């Protein structure tokens, strides 16, 4: 690749300065890579060689990464790996700012566990962000969840990832396409955008359960917000679902998934092996008794090994939940609990 020599001295100085500002104000290396992708995607082809040379002169990590990003741009492909790196780096960055005050108010004198409250805020914002990502591309979102589940530093998000992964197959069935849209690269984690209790309760009320309204009033001392949702559906924090998904499909989907927080998920209808029996690994929350199906195995040994792997790699999860193996038969729906880690 040859550098375009038709640029004047002043043009080169100006462009180097703009690139320098863009790279030096990044919060982490993942953002440098992400911004490199955005620059190369938007800049005219005649300037790309010069920009690539400038970036390679500036970074200290492997230059081959810049070439990989350039190839992604040339091939008009969406670099999911780059998006995943950016999200995980952002999550860790915001987790590290445990001493930061909210809205400019110093929190150093507050008698609270600032790290835990920071985790609570991040988890709420992450779930809101992740729901939008799932609607854009369940495949890309699932890649992100798997990376987080393999990262001990983000163990406080593992429960959320287990929960969110269960939504991906249903969204795939609705979208009926594996294409990853360019919009995914604009779907980024924002700690300021968190879940709204009012919106979640409103979605739950779609199931026509009057008790849900009374629960909301009891907790908030306010009536449940009213009003119909027409056209595009906008959820607090900027979660927008376009008209490729019908209102009925989305309403039923969100209502079902939020209801799981109170009642546990419905039994999955998965294909059964020839012996008519599968072994379902359940994650049961010890305080509430709520359960989530996280894996369907063909043998008891496979299920037990899966549980042992989770407990070994994420021992902190046993503080809030236990893992069980249930058998399920096609004919009589028999379910027998095996002792944990037996």
Domain coordinates of the chain in residue numbers? Answer: 9-74, 80-103+110-186, 197-263, 277-338
pTM: 0.60
Give the mean pLDDT of 192-201: 81
Mean pLDDT computed over every residue of the chain: 75
Q: How is residue 322 annotated by DSSP? A: E
What's the pLDDT band for 248 if we cut at 50, 70, 90? very low
Q: Does residue 191 or residue 268 have the better pLDDT?
A: 191
What are the structure tokens assigned to 288, written together? 């509430």
What's the pLDDT band for 288 if we cut at 50, 70, 90? low
User: What pLDDT score does 57 carry?
Assistant: 92
Q: Name the least confident of 62-76, 148-162, 277-291.
A: 277-291
User: What pLDDT score does 166 carry?
Assistant: 85
Specify whether the CB–CB gap between 83 and 185 falls below 8 A: yes
Give the mean pLDDT of 302-322: 77
Nearest to 233 by CA among 159, 132, 145: 132
Q: How far apart are CA 66 and CA 33, in angstroms?
A: 7
Tens-digit pLDDT profile for residues 160-196: 999 899 888 888 888 877 889 999 999 999 999 998 8
């Amino acid at each position: 690749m040859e550098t375009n020599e038709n640029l004047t001295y002043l043009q080169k100085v100006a462009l180097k300065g703009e690139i320098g500002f863009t790279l030096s104000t990044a919060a982490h290396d993942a953002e440098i890579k992400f911004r490199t992708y955005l620059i190369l995607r938007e800049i005219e082809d005649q300037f790309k060689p010069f920009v690539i040379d400038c970036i390679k002169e500036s970074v200290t990590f492997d230059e081959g990464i810049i070439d990989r990003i350039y190839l992604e741009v040339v091939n008009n492909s969406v670099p999911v790996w780059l998006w995943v790196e950016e999200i995980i780096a952002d999550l860790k960055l915001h987790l590290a700012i445990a001493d930061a005050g909210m809205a400019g108010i110093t929190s150093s004198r507050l008698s609270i566990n600032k790290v835990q409250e920071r985790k609570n805020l991040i988890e709420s914002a992450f779930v809101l962000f992740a729901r939008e990502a799932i609607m854009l591309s369940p495949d890309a979102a699932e890649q992100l969840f798997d990376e987080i589940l393999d990262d001990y530093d983000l163990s406080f998000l593992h429960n959320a990832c287990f929960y969110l992964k269960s939504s991906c197959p249903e969204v795939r069935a609705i979208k009926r396409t594996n294409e990853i849209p360019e919009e995914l690269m604009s779907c980024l984690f924002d700690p300021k955008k968190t879940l709204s209790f009012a919106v979640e309760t409103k979605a739950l009320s779609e199931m026509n359960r009057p008790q849900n309204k009374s629960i909301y009033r009891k907790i908030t001392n306010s009536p449940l917000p009213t009003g119909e949702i027409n056209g595009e559906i906008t959820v607090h924090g900027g979660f927008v679902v376009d008209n490729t998904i019908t209102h009925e499909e989305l309403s039923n989907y969100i209502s079902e998934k939020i209801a799981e927080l109170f009642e546990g998920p419905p039994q999955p209808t998965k294909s059964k092996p020839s012996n008519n029996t599968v072994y379902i690994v359940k994650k049961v929350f010890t305080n509430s008794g709520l359960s989530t199906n996280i894996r369907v195995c063909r043998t008891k040994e496979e299920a037990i090994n899966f549980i042992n792997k989770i407990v070994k790699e994420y021992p902190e999860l046993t503080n809030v939940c236990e893992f069980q193996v249930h058998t399920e038969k096609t004919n009589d729906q028999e379910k027998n609990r095996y002792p944990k880690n037996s």
